[in-house]
């Protein structure tokens, strides 16, 4: 089955620790994204990548880092510099049209990160 | 001004009612439009794309008005299972990049 997987589903970390969230897709999508969602709020873009070995900051990149070494994988590291990391993290992917326009996104099931 | 704006709701309507949401976007160069549905504590899922000619999928109808820069979603004969947050999504193409923008969502609650 094609899709996007995120792991783990729930993650607990102590303050001051870095943690890496996994995102894998087998849809052969070019573009991948990371969003953060706080309770009762909308999605906020952290980082995105439209091509392997290239990624761009979104609206709230501070305290986060990513890599895109493979088309299928786009891991997100939440560093100790992120002041309020407890949130629901969603990974998404999409095709790009031949004209370079982002198409509709497909989301993974998300990771709930809680900092203790 | 936000690039994509939605009434946050909540809309609380009885089962069987017809309900409509609007979403406005600020950039006239917006290219593609979508409605997503997000259930509580779940990921957003694509509900339908929105085409210039309008499109219908069962009880759901989406329309685009480029002149007034808004899209709409109409739900007829609403079911309890329609209770969710509905997200309006717009894509843009700049000179060297493309962007996808999510609205903050409209909460819908269907009561028995």
Chain B residues in contact with A56 (beta carbon < 8 A): 97
- Interface touch B93/A99, C-beta < 8 Å: yes
| A106 min Cα distance to partner chain B (Å) | 7
pLDDT band, very low/low/confident/very high, at A1 (cuts 50, 70, 90) = low
CA–CA separation, A50 and A66 (whole Å): 13
- Which residues of B, range 30-49, sit inside 8 Å of A by Cβ? 31-32, 34, 41-46, 49
pLDDT digit string, tens, across residues A52-71: 999 999 999 999 999 999 99
CA–CA separation, A3 and A22 (whole Å): 14
| A108 min Cα distance to partner chain B (Å) | 7
- Pairing of β B19-25 and β B70-75: antiparallel
Of B32, B43, B105, the CB nearest to A110: B43
Of B43, B49, B91, the CB nearest to A107: B43
Average pLDDT (B40-57) is 93
Contact B38, B44 (CB under 8 A): yes
pLDDT digit string, tens, across residues B3-37: 899 998 899 999 999 999 999 999 888 889 999 99
- Which of these, B110, B106, B20, lies nearest to B65 by C-alpha position? B20
CA–CA separation, A76 and A69 (whole Å): 12
pLDDT digit string, tens, across residues A64-111: 999 999 999 999 999 988 889 999 999 999 988 777 778 889 999 999
First-to-last CA distance in chain A? 36
Distances (CA, A) of B95 to A99, A100, B29, B90: 11, 10, 11, 17
Residue A116 predicted with pLDDT over 80: yes
Chain B residues in contact with A103 (beta carbon < 8 A): 32, 91
Q: Does B89 touch chain A (CB under 8 A)?
A: yes
């Amino acid at each position: 089955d094609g899709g996007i997987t995120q792991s783990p589903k729930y993650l607990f970390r102590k303050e001051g620790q870095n943690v890496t969230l996994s995102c894998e897709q087998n849809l052969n999508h070019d573009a991948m994204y990371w969003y953060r969602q706080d309770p009762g709020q909308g999605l906020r873009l952290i980082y995105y990548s439209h091509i392997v070995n290239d990624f761009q900051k979104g609206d709230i990149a501070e305290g986060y880092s990513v890599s895109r070494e493979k088309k299928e994988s786009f891991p997100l590291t939440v560093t100790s510099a992120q002041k309020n990391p407890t949130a629901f993290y969603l990974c998404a992917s999409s095709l790009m049209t031949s004209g370079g326009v982002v198409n509709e996104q497909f989301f993974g099931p998300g990771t709930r990160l809680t900092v203790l | 001004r936000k690039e994509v704006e939605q009434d946050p709701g909540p809309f609380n309507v009885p089962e069987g009612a017809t309900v409509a949401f609007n979403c406005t976007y600020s950039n006239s160069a917006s290219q593609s439009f979508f409605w997503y549905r997000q259930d509580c504590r779940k990921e957003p899922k694509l509900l339908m794309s929105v085409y210039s000619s309008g499109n219908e999928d069962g009880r759901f109808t989406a329309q685009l008005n480029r002149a007034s820069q808004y899209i709409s979603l109409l739900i007829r004969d609403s079911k309890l299972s329609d209770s969710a947050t509905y997200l309006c999504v717009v894509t843009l193409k700049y000179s060297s990049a493309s962007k996808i923008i999510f609205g903050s969502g409209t909460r819908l609650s269907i009561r028995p």
